[in-house]
Chains A and B, each alone.
Chain A
Amino acid sequence: MILKALLLRPLLRRPWRFLVTVVGVATGVAAVISTIAASRAAIASFAEGIEEVAGAARLEIASPGGLPETLLAELRPVSGDALVVPVVEETVLLLELGDGVRLLGVDLLLDAEVRPVLSGDRELPDLDATLLGFGALVSRRLAEDLDIAAGDALSVSIGGRPRSVEVAAVFEADGLSAVWERVLIMDVAAAQELLGRVGRLDRIELVPRGSVDLDELRVRTDALLPDGLAASPPGERRRFAEQMLASLRFNLVALSAISLLVAGVLIATTLATSVVQRLFVVSLLRSLGASRARVASVVLLEALGIGIVGGVLGVAGGFVGARLALASVRFTVASVVRGIPASEIRFDPQLAALGLAIAVVTALAAAVLPLMEIMSVPPLQGLRTAPPQRMRTRSRLATVAVLLAMAAAAAALARMPAIDDLPIPALTAALVAMAALLVGSGLLLDTLARLGHAPFARLRGAALQLAAAALSAGRRRAAWAAGSVAVAVALAVAIATMVSSFRATVEGWTTSGMRADLWVRPLAAGTGVWVGRLDPEIVTIAEELFGPETADPFYSQTVAYQGRPVSFAGAAFDVVRFHGSVPFPGRDSAEVFDRAWRERAAVVNEPFATRFGIGEGDTVRFELPGGVLEREVVGVFRDYSRSHGLVVVDRSDFLRFFPDAGPDDMALFLPPESDAGVARERLLEAVRGRFLVEALDNRELRAAVLGAFERTFSITTALYLVTAVVAVVAVLTVLLTLVGERRRELATVRAVGGSRGQVLAMVVSEAGLLGLAAAAAGTVVGIAVGVILVKVVNLQSFGWSLELVLPWSSLVTMAVWVVATCLVAGLPPALVAARMQPAAVLREEG
């Protein structure tokens, strides 16, 4: 009977409420799962891919810019203890796929001993093609996706140079990491020729034979290597990549946490309201002799049901959402590290279990609070309507004190430095500010109610007065509701603030910092995947076409600075000193580059300066392959791309230490009066048939950068939308509950002469008031949190300083939406209230 009364009847009578609750749970869980799954796919798979590709190799020798292959012979003394394996690796554009793939050049004669993908009962590939030609092994999956078989040709673009590769064999990648699905495996010599790296290797792997002592092998190997080179486990490279991705990963984890918070708010709100809605039935059952435990078990059973159904839907939705989010994460990962993050989301049972667990635990936890409230009500009392509750002065003061303490704590936390480059205190400050909303919402409603009774409130009519009184009467539950709505609003406002600040800053940055007339990059670089460098010949072609003073090729390598990965780059200082380039706050860009050119100095980006505490006048010292480079820093520029740090020296310095493998891209400053469109045509015509490149004019370049920005922030934007929806859903469920709870009261209003219109106005006003209060409080706290995100969290985790730009139109729109939603949400219950027969209700309610 209890089950029927508490669960089935309400479910059948008001299925939408169950549905709303389930959708709420599902939305929250989906937000969490999609963020985690996308982050894991792109970042974790990237890092894991490093070791997966390394196979049985336990040590490797690598250096930025690669190694001379003559090093192989130097390692002969350790070749008895370890198989010495040359490797060449690069990301190339596979034209048939329209995406980047990993080109892995290994020793195909030996590799069965290194990588499981090449061993087993496989057919021998055509050695004539692989060892002497340009044959590649591709996975069954890739072969099926492209509908190709052994003997077919594939087209790849390497540094913009199109080349043909023959499919020599198709290998099975079942049971292997997804890394292998997008790989072209070739013989090392073929890969060297294809990539234009004859004589060079990207790394040398050591695969120990038998039970060789790894430390001893490492010591013996290091003794054979020239200065500056050492053997290290592939895990080191993974750690390096992970370090570079650390802030990105943290950002995504923080987003997951926010998703979780949103989910929690939504689940708690919907469940709490749905439990409270049945307060009367619960009390009745208790009066009829049902034990507390019995009632509790039924309520928890419902929560469990909602948790499971919502969890399953949420997990499913989460993996779908992850597919959408992946494009964004992948783009961001590829902008930080060179390689190919996974391109698809694989279902992960552990993550699915986590999603389900989050749903169930949150649902149960959310049910506990209202349940305690229900249980604390003695059987009969719950049948009576609660009298209006006013906060006592003492309790008001206590709340104010707590709020002040929280504000002080948040302010103090926001000023604390990052921990391990992670803005943990600042994010805690944001959480404290959010929590303050929940704590303070009761006080807020109480204040509203008092205002409603103030003498001047008379002007606003009886309906508003009664509405304020009603909110005050159901204050505890209304406070819950207002608090949840406010938290959702605050989150949405904070995220909107961060995105608008970022967008405005990047827009300003592109306007002031991107002055080139044309920008040349390898074809499909715009997909966001690193597809290799521009062929050096393209620089020569551009210089011949437009003059050597026009081309600013940008070369870069990842190197270690104080043991941490940073980007080390070379630019044409002799060219940009006439035009200026990246912005130096408060200074003329051209002047800074002119000084850097004259004094053979360096410029660094802001994240580098922040991370290593480097400023103008300081000296940076790099141990590079082939020697040490020391340069004075003459400028710190704004940069929103390389958060791990970027140091730029003149290209002549760069090319002294690294072979000219071509620039990442090239800016062209055309002579005055030149037409960029015409120049682009000339350039494309000159490279036609030889190189596949893209040339963007200034406007397109800015649009491309902003597009990249949009992609980077698409998860955040999606989260903003989810949060906004959550705010609205929270309002809706809360109001429905509050009105349902007060049928008797409304009937009384009607019975004592209140018109239908007055009842309608009263309920709608009540909704409007609640919405207004929540929107106001949420917006204020949201802006505060937004400021913390923009000014503290971004600076600490990425080293980016951003202009604070409040998204006024978004804020107003959201406030209007929340209030409007509240009013609209108030309408159905208001109509119900207005239509009810007072006598019948009063009889029913006793």
Chain B
Amino acid sequence: MGRLILIVAVLAAAVPAAAESTDGWREITSPPELVFPRDHGAHPDTRSEWWYVTGIVADDPGRRFGFQITFFRQGLAAGPPAPGESALRARQVAAAHLAVADIDGARFLHAERLRRSGGGLAGWSEADLDVWLDDWTMQRDPGGVISIRARDAEVGIGLSLELRPEKPLVRQGDAGYSRKGPVAGNASAYLSWTRIAVAGTLEIDGRSRPVDGGAWLDHEWGTSQLGAGVVGWDWFSLRLDDGRDLMVYRLRRDDGSADPFSSGTIVAADGTPTRLERDDVEIEPLEWWTSPSTGARYPTRWRLLVPAHSIDLEIRALLPAAELDGRATTGVVYWEGPVEATGSTRAEGYVELTGYAGSLEGRF
């Protein structure tokens, strides 16, 4: 689900009228009719969309790195261009976020890109997964292998990876209809490859190293998502050593409670998904980390229970200082970092925490 849409946030804040109304944008109100590979591609008739990959890889001596690469599409004006309108009009913009967590070196490095879709320097295909922003790309070939290329010379990080899904695509929620609020349109179409084999090179400090490991890819699109009173969310994606994968999102209300539309999915080793409701999952934060730059206090250790599926895990952030401080560029601050879990089984994955450095209510 609810992957952070940094650019959505900043643009939605800047264009409040657009955030409140859905005028001209298609809402997701029921399970989508999915046709592949077309639906791996973009859906520019909805307001926002993202392809979100997180993973943990290791190099030959075993040094571990977390990575995140996300492409966002955000619509600012619906419908076809007016007669005489410039193709460079920012009807839709693309944003991308690249982060590398150097787990052993305890360093968190990230870079962002932002560009309008007109003019050819950023764009997407509506036929299959093929998005690009400048020279950053995410592309799926007919054989199903997804290639990722992204590099930031200034920060000195880069990814050149090939992703091979090891389980079938998961349609989250109700056959891909992921509802997040009381109104039928408070929803997205939500697809995941929960277990992906990753191989390629990772660059840090300007030096490339061959790596391999596992990753998770979310693809989600919709027009209006969060209901009223929701200030942020905690999102967990875990690949369990017993072959199962677990995704849980907890929508946090302003009083600290979990919103009724919080949800999750457990994916069996054979790829069969089972939907989890709010009350199927218990999450208890155990430890916190306070960001020295923003003062935001993030949980970094949790106990997560899914009793019906015999899951009892203690989850620990591998790098507590994984805050992405986008105040200077996009205005959004969030935490996104690699985690590992012990307990009923061992697991690793990623956690995303939003709304801790100010409420996101009304921004999504």
A79-B135, A126-B14, A132-B77 known; A72+B87 contact, CB < 8 A? no
Chain A residues with Cβ below 8 Å from B89 are 131-132, 189-190
Partner of A131, one of B17, B90, B135, B156: B90
Asked if residues A76 and B121 are in contact (CB atoms below 8 Å), the reply is: yes
Find the A residue at minimum CB distance from B10: A124
Find the A residue at minimum CB distance from B90: A131
Chain B residues with Cβ below 8 Å from A79 are 121, 134-135
Asked if residues B154 and A209 are in contact (CB atoms below 8 Å), the reply is: yes
Interface of B is mostly: loop
Chain A residues with Cβ below 8 Å from B156 are 210
Q: Which of A80-88, A282-290, A513-521, A579-587 participates in binding chain B?
A: A80-88
Q: Does B86 contact A (CB under 8 A)?
A: yes
| Docked complex: A96-118 residues within 8 A CB-CB of B | 107, 109-110, 112
A84-B113 Cα distance, complex, nearest whole Å? 12
Chain A residues with Cβ below 8 Å from B358 are none
A192-B13 Cα distance, complex, nearest whole Å? 26
Q: Does A69 contact B (CB under 8 A)?
A: yes
A186-200 vs B, CB cutoff 8 Å, 1 = contact: the mask equals: 011110110000110
A73-B119, A80-B151 known; A86+B134 contact, CB < 8 A? no
A662 shortest CB reach to chain B, Å: 17
Partner of B90, one of A75, A80, A189: A189
Find the B residue at minimum CB distance from A81: B153
Asked if residues A212 and B153 are in contact (CB atoms below 8 Å), the reply is: yes
Partner of A193, one of B77, B86, B132, B329: B86
Asked if residues A127 and B151 are in contact (CB atoms below 8 Å), the reply is: no
Chain A residues with Cβ below 8 Å from B85 are 189, 193, 198
Q: Does B103 contact A (CB under 8 A)?
A: no
Asked if residues B120 and A109 are in contact (CB atoms below 8 Å), the reply is: no
Q: Does B142 contact A (CB under 8 A)?
A: no
Find the B residue at minimum CB distance from A79: B134
Asked if residues B90 and A109 are in contact (CB atoms below 8 Å), the reply is: yes
Asked if residues A76 and B84 are in contact (CB atoms below 8 Å), the reply is: no
Chain A residues with Cβ below 8 Å from B88 are 69, 86, 188-189, 192
| Docked complex: B1-52 residues within 8 A CB-CB of A | 10-11, 13-15, 17-18
B60-87 vs A, CB cutoff 8 Å, 1 = contact: the mask equals: 0000000000000000110000001111
Asked if residues A132 and B90 are in contact (CB atoms below 8 Å), the reply is: yes
Chain A residues with Cβ below 8 Å from B116 are 107, 109, 131, 189
Asked if residues A72 and B121 are in contact (CB atoms below 8 Å), the reply is: yes
Q: Does B114 contact A (CB under 8 A)?
A: yes
Interface size class of B (residues with CB under 8 A): 35 or more
Among A126, A187, A189, A209: residue with most chain B CB under 10 A? A189
A126-B76 Cα distance, complex, nearest whole Å? 13
Find the A residue at minimum CB distance from B85: A193
Q: Does B93 contact A (CB under 8 A)?
A: yes
Asked if residues A198 and B134 are in contact (CB atoms below 8 Å), the reply is: no
A198-B84 Cα distance, complex, nearest whole Å? 8
A818-B100 Cα distance, complex, nearest whole Å? 85
Asked if residues B153 and A199 are in contact (CB atoms below 8 Å), the reply is: no
Q: Does A144 contact B (CB under 8 A)?
A: no
Chain B residues with Cβ below 8 Å from A86 are 88, 119
Find the B residue at minimum CB distance from A132: B77
B11 shortest CB reach to chain A, Å: 7
A459-B280 Cα distance, complex, nearest whole Å? 133
Find the B residue at minimum CB distance from A198: B86
Asked if residues B154 and A192 are in contact (CB atoms below 8 Å), the reply is: no
Asked if residues A128 and B87 are in contact (CB atoms below 8 Å), the reply is: no
| Docked complex: A169-190 residues within 8 A CB-CB of B | 187-190
Q: Does A77 contact B (CB under 8 A)?
A: yes
Partner of B87, one of A69, A76, A209, A210: A69
Chain A residues with Cβ below 8 Å from B114 are 109-110
Asked if residues A127 and B14 are in contact (CB atoms below 8 Å), the reply is: yes
A187-B85 Cα distance, complex, nearest whole Å? 13
Partner of A72, one of B15, B86, B120: B120
Chain B residues with Cβ below 8 Å from A188 are 86, 88
Chain B residues with Cβ below 8 Å from A189 are 85-90, 116, 118
Q: Does B102 contact A (CB under 8 A)?
A: no
Q: Does A350 contact B (CB under 8 A)?
A: no
| Docked complex: B96-116 residues within 8 A CB-CB of A | 114-116
Chain A residues with Cβ below 8 Å from B153 are 80-81, 209-212
Asked if residues B121 and A84 are in contact (CB atoms below 8 Å), the reply is: yes
Find the B residue at minimum CB distance from A73: B120
| Docked complex: B104-158 residues within 8 A CB-CB of A | 114-116, 118-121, 132, 134-136, 151-154, 156
Asked if residues A109 and B115 are in contact (CB atoms below 8 Å), the reply is: yes
A109-B93, A128-B18 known; A209+B121 contact, CB < 8 A? no
A109-B93, A109-B116, A132-B76 known; A199+B135 contact, CB < 8 A? no
Partner of B14, one of A112, A124, A193: A124
Asked if residues B121 and A210 are in contact (CB atoms below 8 Å), the reply is: no
Chain B residues with Cβ below 8 Å from A127 are 11, 14-15, 76
A86-B119 Cα distance, complex, nearest whole Å? 9
A70-B136 Cα distance, complex, nearest whole Å? 19
A449-489 vs B, CB cutoff 8 Å, 1 = contact: the mask equals: 00000000000000000000000000000000000000000
A719-B200 Cα distance, complex, nearest whole Å? 75
A124-B15 Cα distance, complex, nearest whole Å? 11
A243 shortest CB reach to chain B, Å: 32
A219 shortest CB reach to chain B, Å: 17
| Docked complex: A720-759 residues within 8 A CB-CB of B | none
A53-85 vs B, CB cutoff 8 Å, 1 = contact: the mask equals: 000000000000000011011011101110110
A187-B88 Cα distance, complex, nearest whole Å? 9
Asked if residues B135 and A76 are in contact (CB atoms below 8 Å), the reply is: yes
A213-B154 Cα distance, complex, nearest whole Å? 13
Chain B residues with Cβ below 8 Å from A190 are 86, 89
Find the A residue at minimum CB distance from B118: A189
A76-B123 Cα distance, complex, nearest whole Å? 12
| Docked complex: A195-220 residues within 8 A CB-CB of B | 198-199, 209-212
Find the A residue at minimum CB distance from B154: A210
B5 shortest CB reach to chain A, Å: 16
Find the B residue at minimum CB distance from A196: B84
A81-B153, A193-B84 known; A128+B134 contact, CB < 8 A? no
A106 shortest CB reach to chain B, Å: 11
A190-B153 Cα distance, complex, nearest whole Å? 32
A80-B134, A80-B151, A110-B114 known; A128+B120 contact, CB < 8 A? no
Chain A residues with Cβ below 8 Å from B77 are 132
Chain A residues with Cβ below 8 Å from B119 are 69, 72-73, 86
A447 shortest CB reach to chain B, Å: 79
Chain A residues with Cβ below 8 Å from B84 are 193, 198
A136 shortest CB reach to chain B, Å: 16
Asked if residues A187 and B87 are in contact (CB atoms below 8 Å), the reply is: no
A17 shortest CB reach to chain B, Å: 66
A127-B15, A188-B88, A199-B87 known; A80+B120 contact, CB < 8 A? no
Among B15, B86, B119, B331: residue with most chain A CB under 10 A? B86
Chain B residues with Cβ below 8 Å from A124 are 10, 13-14, 331
Chain B residues with Cβ below 8 Å from A110 are 114-115
B8 shortest CB reach to chain A, Å: 13
A189-B91 Cα distance, complex, nearest whole Å? 11
| Docked complex: A486-529 residues within 8 A CB-CB of B | none
Partner of B17, one of A76, A83, A128: A128
Partner of A73, one of B14, B121, B135: B121
- Could you pull out 21 A-B pairs where Cβ atoms are within 8 angstroms? A76-B121, A76-B135, A80-B136, A109-B93, A110-B115, A126-B14, A127-B76, A128-B15, A131-B90, A132-B76, A132-B77, A187-B90, A189-B88, A190-B89, A192-B88, A193-B86, A198-B84, A198-B85, A199-B86, A199-B87, A212-B153
The 9 closest A-B pairs by CB, nearest first: A73-B120, A79-B134, A80-B135, A210-B154, A210-B153, A189-B88, A189-B86, A127-B14, A131-B90
- Beyond A75-B121, A76-B120, A109-B116, 9 additional contacts (C-beta under 8 Å) are A69-B87, A80-B135, A86-B88, A107-B115, A107-B116, A127-B11, A198-B86, A209-B152, A210-B156
